[in-house]
Amino acid sequence: MTTYIPALIWVLSGLVCLGIAKRRHVKPTTLWAMLVALIGPIAIPLVLIAKPEKSNHA
């Protein structure tokens, strides 16, 4: 059972990262998704420093 804990942390951090990205309006691309899957929990700070998309609402 303890062998599943790192995988669970990896998946949960990916979901948290996706939630933060949606809230900050960061466009998820294929490269972005692969990077999150590869680096796991380290992706959360990276998405926090990512620049949000510019809104064309005027």
Q: Which H helix or E strand runs over 48? A: helix 43-49
State the CB neighbour count (10 A cutoff) for residue 36: 24
d(CA 8, CA 4): 6
Q: Is 50 a residue whose pLDDT tops 60?
A: yes
Burial letters 39-54, b for 16+ CB under 10 A, else e:
ebeebbeebeebeeee
CA 27 to chain centre: 11
Domain boundaries, the chain: 10-48
For residue 38, the 8-state DSSP code is: H
Tell me the per-residue pLDDT of 7-46, one tens digit each, with 9 for 90 and over.
888 889 888 888 888 888 887 788 888 888 888 888 888 8
